[in-house]
Protein backbone atom coordinates (compact mmCIF):
# COMPACT_ATOMS: atom_id res chain seq x y z
CA UNK A 1 0.00 0.00 0.00
CA UNK A 2 1.54 3.29 -1.04
CA UNK A 3 1.38 5.73 1.85
CA UNK A 4 1.90 9.45 1.43
CA UNK A 5 4.35 10.91 3.93
CA UNK A 6 4.08 14.59 4.87
CA UNK A 7 6.87 15.91 7.10
CA UNK A 8 6.82 19.25 8.89
CA UNK A 9 9.64 21.14 10.50
CA UNK A 10 10.51 24.52 11.90
CA UNK A 11 12.32 27.03 9.72
CA UNK A 12 15.09 29.43 10.79
CA UNK A 13 12.50 32.09 11.64
CA UNK A 14 10.61 29.69 13.96
CA UNK A 15 7.66 29.26 11.60
CA UNK A 16 6.26 25.83 10.78
CA UNK A 17 7.12 24.59 7.30
CA UNK A 18 6.39 21.58 5.13
CA UNK A 19 9.70 19.84 4.49
CA UNK A 20 8.65 16.74 2.55
CA UNK A 21 5.53 15.45 0.81
CA UNK A 22 5.67 12.15 -1.03
CA UNK A 23 6.04 8.38 -0.74
CA UNK A 24 8.15 6.45 1.77
CA UNK A 25 11.86 6.94 1.05
CA UNK A 26 12.62 3.21 1.35
CA UNK A 27 10.41 0.25 0.42
CA UNK A 28 11.83 -3.25 0.92
CA UNK A 29 10.49 -6.41 -0.71
CA UNK A 30 11.48 -10.06 -0.36
CA UNK A 31 11.71 -12.37 -3.38
CA UNK A 32 11.20 -15.36 -1.06
CA UNK A 33 7.92 -13.89 0.19
CA UNK A 34 6.15 -12.32 -2.82
CA UNK A 35 3.83 -9.51 -1.78
CA UNK A 36 5.60 -8.83 1.53
CA UNK A 37 6.51 -5.16 1.59
CA UNK A 38 8.05 -3.02 4.35
CA UNK A 39 7.96 0.76 3.94
CA UNK A 40 10.29 2.78 6.16
CA UNK A 41 8.56 6.11 6.77
CA UNK A 42 10.58 7.74 9.57
CA UNK A 43 13.15 6.90 12.21
CA UNK A 44 15.06 8.36 15.11
CA UNK A 45 18.13 6.94 16.83
CA UNK A 46 17.54 8.66 20.17
CA UNK A 47 14.72 10.60 21.83
CA UNK A 48 13.97 13.41 19.38
CA UNK A 49 14.62 17.08 20.06
CA UNK A 50 11.56 19.24 19.51
CA UNK A 51 11.00 21.40 17.58
CA UNK A 52 12.90 19.72 14.78
CA UNK A 53 13.95 20.73 11.30
CA UNK A 54 12.24 17.77 9.63
CA UNK A 55 15.53 16.75 8.01
CA UNK A 56 15.48 13.20 6.64
CA UNK A 57 16.49 10.66 9.27
CA UNK A 58 15.51 7.38 7.61
CA UNK A 59 18.35 5.35 6.10
CA UNK A 60 18.61 1.83 4.75
CA UNK A 61 21.70 1.11 6.83
CA UNK A 62 19.80 1.50 10.11
CA UNK A 63 18.87 -1.51 12.20
CA UNK A 64 15.15 -2.34 11.89
CA UNK A 65 14.90 -2.38 15.70
CA UNK A 66 15.67 1.05 17.16
CA UNK A 67 18.07 1.59 20.06
CA UNK A 68 16.72 2.50 23.51
CA UNK A 69 14.64 5.67 23.08
CA UNK A 70 14.83 5.52 19.29
CA UNK A 71 11.81 5.02 17.05
CA UNK A 72 10.75 3.58 13.73
CA UNK A 73 7.60 4.32 11.74
CA UNK A 74 6.98 1.55 9.22
CA UNK A 75 4.12 0.02 7.32
CA UNK A 76 4.07 -3.68 6.48
CA UNK A 77 1.96 -5.30 3.78
CA UNK A 78 1.38 -8.99 4.56
CA UNK A 79 0.31 -10.92 1.44
CA UNK A 80 -2.49 -13.50 1.51
CA UNK A 81 -1.28 -16.74 3.06
CA UNK A 82 1.61 -15.08 4.92
CA UNK A 83 2.83 -17.23 7.81
CA UNK A 84 4.74 -20.45 8.30
CA UNK A 85 5.78 -22.16 5.08
CA UNK A 86 4.50 -25.52 3.99
CA UNK A 87 6.81 -28.47 4.82
CA UNK A 88 7.88 -28.89 1.18
CA UNK A 89 9.24 -25.32 1.17
CA UNK A 90 11.46 -25.87 4.20
CA UNK A 91 15.16 -26.59 3.78
CA UNK A 92 16.61 -30.06 4.35
CA UNK A 93 17.40 -31.05 7.94
CA UNK A 94 21.15 -30.78 7.31
CA UNK A 95 20.98 -27.01 6.65
CA UNK A 96 22.47 -24.99 9.51
CA UNK A 97 20.15 -23.11 11.88
CA UNK A 98 21.09 -19.63 10.65
CA UNK A 99 20.24 -20.50 7.05
CA UNK A 100 16.99 -22.14 8.14
CA UNK A 101 15.79 -19.13 10.18
CA UNK A 102 13.43 -17.83 7.45
CA UNK A 103 11.81 -21.27 7.40
CA UNK A 104 11.06 -21.45 11.14
CA UNK A 105 7.75 -23.27 11.71
CA UNK A 106 6.42 -20.65 14.07
CA UNK A 107 7.92 -17.44 12.64
CA UNK A 108 7.98 -16.30 16.27
CA UNK A 109 10.38 -13.53 17.15
CA UNK A 110 11.00 -11.03 19.93
CA UNK A 111 12.30 -7.49 19.92
CA UNK A 112 13.31 -5.16 22.73
CA UNK A 113 10.59 -2.70 21.74
CA UNK A 114 7.11 -1.49 22.48
CA UNK A 115 5.16 -1.54 19.21
CA UNK A 116 1.95 0.34 18.46
CA UNK A 117 0.25 -1.22 15.45
CA UNK A 118 -2.81 0.05 13.58
CA UNK A 119 -4.38 -2.21 10.97
CA UNK A 120 -5.10 -0.01 7.96
CA UNK A 121 -6.47 -2.65 5.61
CA UNK A 122 -7.45 -6.32 5.68
CA UNK A 123 -7.08 -8.71 8.59
CA UNK A 124 -3.96 -10.16 10.24
CA UNK A 125 -3.56 -12.65 13.09
CA UNK A 126 -0.94 -12.13 15.78
CA UNK A 127 0.24 -15.49 17.10
CA UNK A 128 1.85 -15.84 20.53
CA UNK A 129 3.89 -18.69 22.00
CA UNK A 130 1.73 -21.74 22.58
CA UNK A 131 -0.28 -20.96 19.45
CA UNK A 132 -2.74 -18.51 21.01
CA UNK A 133 -3.78 -15.90 18.45
CA UNK A 134 -6.05 -12.92 17.87
CA UNK A 135 -7.39 -11.62 14.58
CA UNK A 136 -6.95 -7.89 14.05
CA UNK A 137 -9.08 -6.12 11.43
CA UNK A 138 -8.94 -2.68 9.82
CA UNK A 139 -9.25 -0.06 12.56
CA UNK A 140 -7.93 -2.33 15.33
CA UNK A 141 -4.97 -1.19 17.44
CA UNK A 142 -2.31 -3.45 18.94
CA UNK A 143 -0.03 -2.45 21.82
CA UNK A 144 2.73 -5.03 21.80
CA UNK A 145 5.13 -5.24 24.75
CA UNK A 146 8.00 -7.46 23.61
CA UNK A 147 6.31 -10.89 23.77
CA UNK A 148 7.42 -13.56 21.30
CA UNK A 149 5.04 -13.32 18.36
CA UNK A 150 4.47 -14.07 14.70
CA UNK A 151 2.00 -13.06 11.99
CA UNK A 152 -0.46 -14.94 9.79
CA UNK A 153 -2.68 -13.61 7.03
CA UNK A 154 -5.45 -16.18 6.62
CA UNK A 155 -7.45 -14.02 4.21
CA UNK A 156 -7.32 -13.78 0.42
CA UNK A 157 -6.38 -10.08 0.44
CA UNK A 158 -3.29 -8.26 1.71
CA UNK A 159 -3.26 -6.86 5.23
CA UNK A 160 -1.53 -3.54 5.87
CA UNK A 161 -0.35 -2.54 9.35
CA UNK A 162 1.25 0.76 10.37
CA UNK A 163 3.68 0.45 13.29
CA UNK A 164 5.31 2.92 15.64
CA UNK A 165 8.22 1.02 17.19
CA UNK A 166 9.92 2.39 20.31
CA UNK A 167 13.27 0.98 21.46
CA UNK A 168 13.21 -0.31 25.04
CA UNK A 169 15.46 -1.94 27.61
CA UNK A 170 15.43 -5.71 28.04
CA UNK A 171 14.70 -7.05 31.51
CA UNK A 172 16.00 -10.36 32.82
CA UNK A 173 13.31 -13.03 33.26
In this structure, what CATH number is given to the domain that contains residue 118? Answer: 2.60.120.10
Name the pTM for this structure: 0.84
How many domains is the chain built from? 1
Distance separating alpha carbons of residues 140 and 113, to the nearest angstrom: 20
* pLDDT at residue number 165: 96
**13, part of any domain:** no
**173, part of any domain:** no
* Separation in Å, CA 3 to CA 34, 39, 133, 157, 162: 19, 9, 28, 18, 10
Q: What stretches in the chain show pLDDT beneath 70? A: 85-106
**149, part of any domain:** yes
**92, part of any domain:** no
**81, part of any domain:** yes
**93, part of any domain:** no
* pLDDT at residue number 106: 53
- Grouping H, G, I as helix, E, B as strand and the rest as coil, residue 160 is strand
Structural domain boundaries enclosing 109: 26-87+99-167
Sheet of strand 26-29, all strands in order from the earlier edge strand to the far edge:
26-29, 37-44, 71-78, 159-167, 113-121, 141-144
Which residues have CB under 8 Å from 112's CB, separation 6+? 65, 68, 146, 167, 168, 169, 170
* pLDDT at residue number 96: 42
pLDDT tens per residue across span 43-56: 999 988 888 888 88
**6, part of any domain:** no
Distance separating alpha carbons of residues 62 and 49, to the nearest angstrom: 19
Amino acid sequence: MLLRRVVTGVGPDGAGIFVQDGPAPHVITNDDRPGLEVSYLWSTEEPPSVPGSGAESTRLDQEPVPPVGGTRLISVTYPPGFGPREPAARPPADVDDAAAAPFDDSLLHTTETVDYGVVLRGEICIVLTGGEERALAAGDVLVHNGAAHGWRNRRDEPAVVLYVIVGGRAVER
